Amino acid sequence: MFAKISIILLYLRVFGVNRRFRWACYLLGSIVVAYCLLCTMIILIRCTPVSANWNLRTKGKCVKLIPVLIVIGGFNIATDVTLLVLPVPLIWKLRLPWPKRLGVFAAFATGILSVIHLPSPYFSSSETG
């Protein structure tokens, strides 16, 4: 969440003169914060009683974690792609020669590397069930 909010704040500082872009940044920032709080609540209250989350001796009923993590991951990808695409129209409108404009676009496009990543070999699905 903090990385996304810092990128949004960077966008506001660089491209903040455009009113519609500012409102889009505020909206996306609000969605990211609300989503983070909601995910935290879902993870905390997925078991009844709540202490069954961390105490394996407590008898309780828990929602399976894998579907929850898939939904959370999908939403993370959606907000990452939105954050990546947000400044594209403003970059294309810059009054720069094409090579420099493409360079600026390439610098912003390196954010796609945060969306595409390989699964960690240290995390198995048996640990989350």
pTM for the full model?
0.75
CA–CA distance, 8 with 3 (Å, rounded to integer): 9
For 37-66, give one letter per residue: b (16+ CB within 10 A) or e: eebeeeeeebbeeeebbeeeeeeeeeeebe
CB atoms within 10 A of CB 25: 22
What's the confidence (pLDDT) of residue 118?
53
Q: Where are the beta strands (DSSP E) in the chain?
A: 47-48, 61-62
Q: Which helix (H) or strand (E) holds 90?
A: helix 88-92
- Domain-by-domain residue ranges, the chain? 2-116
DSSP reduced 3-state for 45? coil
| pLDDT by residue, tens only, the chain of 129 residues | 888 999 899 999 988 888 999 999 999 999 999 999 999 998 888 888 988 888 888 888 988 888 888 888 899 889 988 998 898 888 888 888 988 888 888 887 776 776 666 555 555 555 444
The DSSP symbol for 58 reads S
Helices then strands, each counted (H, E), the chain: 6, 2
What's the confidence (pLDDT) of residue 129?
46
